Amino acid sequence: MIRHFLKVRDLTKEEFKFLLNRSIELKSGVDRLKCPLIGKSIGMIFEKPSTRTRISFEVAIYQLGAHPIYMSPRDLQLSRGETIKDTAQVLSRYLDGIVIRTFSHSTVEEFSSFSQIPVINALTDNHHPCQAVADIMTILEKKGDLEKILIAYVGDGNNVANSLIEASALVGAKIHIATPEGLEPLKECIDWAKNHTQVKLFNDPYEAVTNADVVYTDVWISMGEEGNQDKKNKFKGFQINSSLLKKAKNDAIVMHCLPAHRGEEITDDVIDGPQSVVLDQAENRLHTEKAILEFLLGM
């Protein structure tokens, strides 16, 4: 059966745990000479700019023995009006898998509905599931027992927040979300997660971060929202700085999915400080994406 990975909750708890363990195995180098996807070709449709997602996926595909084919919007007839249905059906005849980074989540949903090969969501406006797998892997490496962890996310209730909520629920980690009023994560993600773990919403970041094991933030203004000064003004007091970090546990780790707008949502001394794990977090995108590709295409 064809499996897609469009949002975190497409996985069961057991599958998510398997991906975490497999990612750690792959990072150790235990299977570095194996190429389970040799002879396969994987398309990468990127309608949004990317550094970590594009490079990590290209390297992951190559290291698994497959061939990555990068396609920007101008490379495809989609830019001239060809339907998603026709594109998905044709590419299914050529490729073994598709990685899509786009704006509307409905685009990947429609694409997957017509695709005869696995589709992986590499980011939409609503979800960033591959990032969330790497986030939880990083927390597992640094903190161990995930069911004893409190994650505090401070900032915009965006795609990263939505996927982090779902990922936390699958591993039983408690999560606090602090956003300005009206910028909360998707209600459907919160409601689903509350069936599996403790999810609390705050408008006060200091209250949300109190005794947290993990302090996480992301940019206040996402791609496509540049110039929205009214929205940016709502984040006064939501910066991750040394004052806010003192409310968390002394050994709390600081996370950011990058790119960071230094001096806005996070200060230099925090993102470059001893509690920051952002580079490990970025590296783990490679290992988790290898596990995801192997899981979906090697079945």
Catalytic residue among 128, 176, 256, 287: 128
pLDDT at 111: 98
Cα R_g (the chain), whole angstroms: 19
Q: How far apart are CA 124 and CA 24, in angstroms?
A: 26
pLDDT at 99: 98
Residue 169: name the closest of 129, 209, 207 by CA.
Answer: 129
pLDDT at 78: 87
77 is catalytic: no
Q: How far apart are CA 34 and CA 64, in angstroms?
A: 7
Catalytic residue among 22, 52, 101, 105: 101
Task: Per residue of the chain (299 residues), give pLDDT as tens.
Answer: 899 999 999 999 999 999 999 999 999 998 888 999 999 999 999 999 999 999 999 999 999 999 999 999 889 998 889 999 999 999 999 999 999 999 999 999 999 999 999 999 999 999 999 999 999 999 999 999 999 999 999 999 999 999 999 999 999 999 999 999 999 999 999 999 999 999 999 999 999 999 999 999 999 998 777 778 899 999 999 999 999 999 999 999 999 999 999 999 999 999 999 999 999 999 999 999 999 999 999 86
Q: How far apart are CA 116 and CA 21, in angstroms?
A: 28
257 is catalytic: yes
pLDDT at 55: 98
52 is catalytic: no
Joined together, the tokens standing for residue 65 give: 């023995």
Domains recognised in the chain with CATH numbers: 8-127+285-297 (3.40.50.1370), 131-281 (3.40.50.1370)
Joined together, the tokens standing for residue 20 give: 């975490």
SS3 of the chain: CCCCECCHHHCCHHHHHHHHHHHHHHHHCCCCCCCCCCCCEEEEEECCCCCHHHHHHHHHHHHCCCEEEEECHHHCHHHHCCCHHHHHHHHHHHCCEEEEECCCHHHHHHHHHHCCCCEEECCCCCCCHHHHHHHHHHHHHHHCCHHHCEEEEECCCCHHHHHHHHHHHHHCCEEEEECCCCCCCCHHHHHHHCCCCCEEEECCHHHHHCCCCEEEECCCCCCCCCCCHHHHHCCCCCCECHHHHCCCCCCCEEEECCCCCECCCECHHHHCCCCECHHHHHHHHHHHHHHHHHHHHCC
pLDDT at 110: 98
pLDDT at 299: 63
Catalytic residue among 218, 239, 256, 281: 218
pLDDT at 32: 85
63 is catalytic: no
239 is catalytic: no
75 is catalytic: no
Catalytic residue among 9, 63, 105, 131: 131
Joined together, the tokens standing for residue 40 give: 């396969």
| Inter-residue contact 118 to 2 (CB < 8 Å) | yes
pLDDT at 245: 98
Catalytic residue among 54, 127, 285, 287: 285
Catalytic residue among 52, 257, 281, 287: 257
